[in-house]
């Protein structure tokens, strides 16, 4: 069974540009999460999808970030326009079942975003 | 404000000895706690969890202890092996909501 995949693995862009990150969850997982880790800091929750609906987007930093999950399969996270403080590693995770805390979340390898 | 704290950024342990990783939290509503392990260039992988109704959970070489009164949990690895060298994150949640992670502790097991 394929795990969570993320594309690209690295992205280097200039301030003001747009970047779109993609996450493909494990097949059949209804729950999809986005997290971000700024270098040396904690892994921070961004948002949670159940199928195509946003269950919790309380962690999204501001309106420059837009997450979508059309059709309830893969998800994209767009940053427009990117700022220097957006640099970090963006992780995607997915889980089956109810999406509660006791469901194991399986993480992808992350996308390392560098904004110059 | 960080609700889950791992105050030791790194830890080195001899192979075969015990590794103890610590985590403190501030939110008394947290009722579920997890440890994740992360190798370089990979995503975190789930290691072990504990519910607030327990004070200990064991899985092979890994044991998690929870002290609710002190708002403290720890992960014990015994015996430690070189393959355990990784970054360990603790995480907590309240009522099935979002996870709050710590900053991670980098464990090095010296052969």
For B79-102, the pLDDT digits (tens) are 999 999 999 999 999 987 899 999
Using the CB atoms, write b or e for A98-110: b if 16+ within 10 Å.
Answer: ebebeeebbbbbb
For residue B19, what are its two tokens?
């590794």
Cβ neighbours of B41 in A, within 8 Å: 109
The single residue listed with the structure tokens 């995607």 is A92
Lowest mean pLDDT: which of A49-58, A69-78, A97-106, B20-29?
A97-106
B39-65 pLDDT tens trace: 999 999 999 999 999 999 999 999 999
Could you tell me if A89 lies within 8 Å of chain B, comparing CB atoms? no
Between strands A10-13 and A111-115, the pairing is parallel
> How far apart, in whole angstroms, are the C-alpha atoms of residue A111 and residue A36?
9
Residue A41 with chain B: CB contacts under 8 Å:
103
By the CB < 8 Å criterion, does A104 face chain B?
Answer: yes
Ranges A3-7, A90-94, A102-106: which has the least confidence:
A102-106
Alpha-carbon distance of B102 to A42, in angstroms, equals: 5
pLDDT of residue A103: 81
| CB contacts < 8 A (A, B) | 57
Closest Cβ opposite residue B96 in set A35, A93, A101: A101
Q: What is the mean pLDDT of residues A85-107?
A: 87
pLDDT of residue B18: 98
Is residue A110 less than 8 Å (CB to CB) from chain B?
A: yes
């Amino acid at each position: 069974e394929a795990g969570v995949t993320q594309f690209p693995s690295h992205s280097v862009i200039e301030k003001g540009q747009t970047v779109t990150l993609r996450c493909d969850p494990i097949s059949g997982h209804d729950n999809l999460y986005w997290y971000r880790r700024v270098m040396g800091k904690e892994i921070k929750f961004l948002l949670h999808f159940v199928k195509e609906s946003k269950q919790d987007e309380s962690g999204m930093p501001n309106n420059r970030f837009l997450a979508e999950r059309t059709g309830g399969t893969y998800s994209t996270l767009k940053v427009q326009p990117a700022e220097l403080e957006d640099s970090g590693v963006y992780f995607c995770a997915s889980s089956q079942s109810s999406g509660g805390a006791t469901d194991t979340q399986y993480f992808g390898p992350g996308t390392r975003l560098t904004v110059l | 404000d960080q609700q889950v704290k791992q105050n030791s950024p790194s830890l080195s342990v001899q192979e075969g000895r015990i590794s103890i990783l610590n985590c403190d939290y501030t939110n008394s509503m947290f009722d579920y706690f997890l440890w994740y392990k992360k190798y370089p260039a990979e995503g975190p992988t789930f290691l072990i969890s504990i519910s607030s109704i327990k004070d200990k959970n064991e899985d092979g070489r890994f044991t998690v202890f929870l002290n609710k009164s002190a708002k403290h949990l720890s992960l014990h690895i015994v015996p430690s092996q070189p393959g355990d060298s990784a970054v360990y994150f603790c995480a907590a949640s309240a009522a099935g909501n979002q996870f709050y992670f710590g900053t991670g502790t980098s464990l090095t097991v010296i052969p």
